């Protein structure tokens, strides 16, 4: 029976194009206004035949005069879904477009280029595997290019395509292309990004987008955009520790009690020892239940129902995690934020924080703000709309996080303003901090300086708790009197 099933799978896989079976690659396109972003996306949809005849007809009906010089429809009209955008001729929100080749399918988050829409870019980037940065070959790398690359990197994107567009307008000049590419690579390195593919491109003429172009650019032997997209890697959270944020408790009858949720990291199988956070209770996994069958394993991304071997207290918002690699639990964390609302983020204000299925009260203290022109983090007490900054999070009750770098699912959160119910920030946790870390700033170095009497300092350094914080805490030995003086000074303000 099992053998039959396996054969059936293989036969089935042979029928459909590969692209239908694999998870789509998610990408985001960024560029300044008029760099050709709409033209590029339109070109991708058009050349992969994602635009259907009736949609093309509707375009023509809409605006007969708006065809471009090649007699193709104005792609921007195809993309700009909302009437308000059509009227203003700008894209003001994130839209998701679909296209596919025989090898892979794609979802592109189409986000606007205007500076004031950083928040939309952050939204699109939050789920993307790869970013395509457009530059106008005539203008080269702009501040906006750096800004977009920085935001994309912050949101966890590590693969970039630099699309040097409108190459036709600079006579396919190799030297200019090389110059732009070198400048960007250097900047990307400063962000820690090494995976950059630069492509000379004419979105308008369709050169090096889906179809490779050699005659006009014999000097370029690299891939067309679509090839890079077909080969790009996708993020998974399967290699980290088991994480299972509980969404709901299922109790259909007296004999069944299961915890429903989606595996947010690692994998799980019956018999595994787990810890329920924040309580810290321990249990073993008894069963993994799904509608189709009782399974012998589940991995990151799977929506399952988990049954434990004993009766323990588990509620929505709790996290079930592997016992030997649990996330950090604490009341104070450090995080990076993107401010998404016009009111900005106010120092000391209490917000709702939602991460996975957990919602709790938090006080937010901005520390620094990223200057997107210089790339420097500068001290700041508040974060206006579209600003990116580091903050301290102080919780009333214990919170659980992984660093965003290790696990996007359990490191990401949103802030909700309790007065308006609006989502006002997207956040990424960096590390847990101790509540005494307010004593000395140094947040930009992700570092805490403790001034302690000598005997206390020695005891702390020998403790186990300190071992895990060694990278973040620097201890300065002082006399008891000196320590008291420092404390007194602090309490004064």
Partner 1 sequence: MSETKPPLDPNLKALESEAIHIFREVAAEFERPVMLYSVGKDSSVLLHLARKAFYPGKIPFPLVHVDTGWKFAEMIAFRDRMVAEFDLDLIAHTNPRGKLENVSPFSHGSSVYTNIMKTEALRQALDAGQYDAAFGGARRDEEASRAKERIYSFRTPDHRWDPRNQRPELWSVYNGMIRKGESVRAFPLSNWTEVDIWRYIQAENIPIVPLYLAAERPVVERDGMLILAEDKRLELLPGEVKRDETIRFRTLGCFPLTGAIRSNATTLDDIINELETATVSERQGRAIDRDEAGSMEKKKREGYF
Binding site for ligand GDP (CB under 6 A): 31, 33-39, 68, 76, 113, 165-166, 168-169, 202-204
Distance CA(235)–CA(491), nearest Å, equals 46
Kindly state the smallest distance separating residue 10's Cβ from partner 1, in Å. Answer: 9
State the binding partner of 33 from partner 1, ligand GDP, none, CB within 5 to 8 A by kind. ligand GDP
**CB-wise, 69 or 464, nearer to ligand GDP?**
69
**CB-wise, 62 or 396, nearer to partner 1?**
62
State the binding partner of 232 from ligand GDP, partner 1, none, CB within 5 to 8 A by kind. none
Alpha carbons within 13 A on the beta-carbon side of 400: 25
User: Which residues are bridge partners to 453 per DSSP?
Assistant: 478
Kindly state the smallest distance separating residue 48's Cβ from ligand GDP, in Å. Answer: 17
**CB-wise, 10 or 491, nearer to partner 1?**
10
Kindly state the smallest distance separating residue 356's Cβ from partner 1, in Å. Answer: 7
Q: Tell me how far apart the 2 most distant CA atoms of the chain are, in Å.
A: 82
Kindly state the smallest distance separating residue 397's Cβ from partner 1, in Å. Answer: 18
State the binding partner of 408 from partner 1, ligand GDP, none, CB within 5 to 8 A by kind. partner 1
**CB-wise, 206 or 427, nearer to partner 1?**
427
Cβ neighbours, 10 Å, residue 59? 21
Kindly state the smallest distance separating residue 79's Cβ from ligand GDP, in Å. Answer: 8
Kindly state the smallest distance separating residue 93's Cβ from partner 1, in Å. Answer: 5
Q: Is the dihedral of CA 344, 348, 351, 354 positive or negative?
A: positive
Instruction: Match 């323990």 to its residue by tokens.
Output: 312
Kindly state the smallest distance separating residue 375's Cβ from ligand GDP, in Å. Answer: 24
Using DSSP's 3-state secondary structure scheme, residue 370 falls into strand
Kindly state the smallest distance separating residue 419's Cβ from partner 1, in Å. Answer: 11
Could you write out the DSSP letters of every residue in 448-465? EEEEEEHHHHHHHHHSHH
Range 94-97, long-range pairs (CB < 8 A, 24+ positions)? 94/120, 94/123, 94/124, 97/41, 97/45, 97/50
**CB-wise, 178 or 302, nearer to partner 1?**
302
State the binding partner of 355 from ligand GDP, partner 1, none, CB within 5 to 8 A by kind. partner 1
State the binding partner of 369 from partner 1, ligand GDP, none, CB within 5 to 8 A by kind. none
> Per the structure block, which two tokens stand in for 349?
């204000």
**CB-wise, 129 or 168, nearer to ligand GDP?**
168
State the binding partner of 36 from ligand GDP, partner 1, none, CB within 5 to 8 A by kind. ligand GDP
Q: Is the dihedral of CA 70, 76, 78, 83 positive or negative?
A: negative
**CB-wise, 52 or 445, nearer to partner 1?**
52
User: Which residues are bridge partners to 14 per DSSP?
Assistant: none
Kindly state the smallest distance separating residue 120's Cβ from partner 1, in Å. Answer: 7
State the binding partner of 122 from ligand GDP, partner 1, none, CB within 5 to 8 A by kind. partner 1
**CB-wise, 33 or 385, nearer to partner 1?**
385
State the binding partner of 416 from ligand GDP, partner 1, none, CB within 5 to 8 A by kind. partner 1
- Residue closest to ligand GDP, measured at CB: 36
Are 41 and 97 in contact, with CB atoms under 8 Å apart?
A: yes
**CB-wise, 33 or 347, nearer to ligand GDP?**
33
State the binding partner of 299 from partner 1, ligand GDP, none, CB within 5 to 8 A by kind. none
Are 460 and 452 in contact, with CB atoms under 8 Å apart?
A: yes
CA distances from 421 to 32, 297, 353, 414 (A): 31, 38, 11, 12
Phi-psi map region of 320: left, alpha, beta (phi>0 left; psi -120 to 50 alpha): beta
Q: What H or E segment, with its residue span, contains residue 45?
A: helix 37-47
User: Nearest-CA neighbor of 359 among 275, 260, 245, 258?
Assistant: 245
**CB-wise, 113 or 366, nearer to ligand GDP?**
113
Q: How many helices (H) and strands (E) does the chain have?
A: 14, 24
Are 406 and 240 in contact, with CB atoms under 8 Å apart?
A: yes
Distance CA(355)–CA(415), nearest Å, equals 9
State the binding partner of 382 from partner 1, ligand GDP, none, CB within 5 to 8 A by kind. none
Kindly state the smallest distance separating residue 182's Cβ from partner 1, in Å. Answer: 33
Kindly state the smallest distance separating residue 478's Cβ from partner 1, in Å. Answer: 43
User: Nearest-CA neighbor of 318 among 412, 410, 429, 414?
Assistant: 410
Q: Is 440 exposed, middle or buried (0-12, 13-18, 19+ CB in 10 A)?
A: middle
State the binding partner of 465 from partner 1, ligand GDP, none, CB within 5 to 8 A by kind. none
User: Nearest-CA neighbor of 165 among 175, 149, 150, 180?
Assistant: 180
DSSP state of 24: P
Kindly state the smallest distance separating residue 81's Cβ from ligand GDP, in Å. Answer: 14
> Per the structure block, which two tokens stand in for 465?
């708790």
**CB-wise, 290 or 468, nearer to partner 1?**
290
User: Which residues are bridge partners to 432 per DSSP?
Assistant: 333
State the binding partner of 143 from partner 1, ligand GDP, none, CB within 5 to 8 A by kind. none
**CB-wise, 21 or 116, nearer to ligand GDP?**
116
């Amino acid at each position: 029976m099992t053998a039959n099933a396996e054969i059936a799978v293989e036969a089935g896989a042979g029928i459909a194009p590969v692209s239908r079976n694999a998870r789509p690659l998610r990408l985001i396109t960024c560029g300044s206004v008029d760099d050709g972003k709409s033209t590029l996306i339109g070109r991708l949809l058009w050349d992969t035949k994602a635009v259907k005849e009736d949609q093309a007809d509707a375009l023509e009906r809409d605006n007969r005069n708006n065809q471009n010089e090649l007699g193709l429809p104005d792609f921007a009209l195809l993309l700009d879904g909302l009437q308000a955008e059509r009227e203003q001729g700008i894209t003001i929100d994130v839209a998701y477009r679909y296209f596919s080749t025989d090898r892979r399918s794609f979802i592109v988050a189409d986000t606007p280029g205007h500076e004031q829409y950083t928040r939309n870019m952050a939204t699109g980037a939050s789920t993307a595997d790869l970013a395509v940065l457009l530059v106008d070959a005539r203008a080269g790398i702009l501040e906006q290019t750096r800004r977009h690359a920085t935001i994309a990197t912050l949101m966890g994107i590590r693969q970039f395509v630099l699309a040097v567009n409108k190459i036709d307008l600079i006579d396919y000049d190799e030297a200019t292309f090389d110059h732009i590419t070198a400048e960007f690579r250097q900047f990307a390195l400063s962000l820690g990004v090494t995976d950059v593919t630069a492509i000379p491109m004419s979105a308008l003429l369709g050169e090096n987008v889906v179809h490779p172009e050699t005659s006009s650019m014999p000097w370029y032997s690299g891939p067309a955009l679509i090839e890079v997209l077909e080969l790009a890697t996708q993020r998974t959270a399967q290699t980290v520790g088991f994480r299972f944020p509980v969404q709901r408790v299922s109790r259909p009858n007296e004999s069944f009690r299961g915890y429903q949720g989606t595996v947010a990291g690692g994998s799980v199988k019956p018999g595994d020892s787990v810890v329920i956070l924040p309580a810290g209770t321990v249990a073993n996994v008894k069963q993994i239940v799904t509608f189709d069958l009782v399974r012998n394993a589940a991995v990151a991304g799977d929506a399952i129902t988990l049954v434990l071997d004993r009766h323990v207290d588990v509620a929505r918002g709790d996290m079930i995690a592997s016992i030997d690699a649990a996330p950090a639990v604490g009341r104070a964390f450090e995080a990076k934020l993107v401010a998404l609302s016009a009111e900005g983020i106010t120092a000391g204000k209490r917000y709702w924080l939602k991460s996975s299925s957990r919602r709790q009260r938090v006080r937010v203290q901005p520390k620094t703000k990223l200057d997107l022109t210089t790339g420097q983090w500068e001290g700041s007490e508040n974060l206006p709309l579209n600003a990116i900054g580091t903050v301290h999070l102080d919780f009333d009750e214990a919170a659980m996080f992984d660093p965003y770098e290790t696990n996007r699912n359990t490191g990401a959160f949103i802030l909700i303003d309790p007065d308006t119910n609006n989502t006002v920030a997207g956040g990424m946790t960096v590390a847990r901090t101790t509540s005494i870390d307010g004593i000395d700033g140094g947040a930009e170095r992700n570092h805490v300086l403790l001034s302690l009497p000598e005997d206390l300092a020695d005891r702390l350094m020998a403790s186990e708790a300190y071992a895990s914080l060694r990278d973040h805490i620097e201890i300065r030995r002082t006399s008891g009197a000196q320590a008291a003086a420092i404390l007194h000074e602090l309490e004064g303000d």
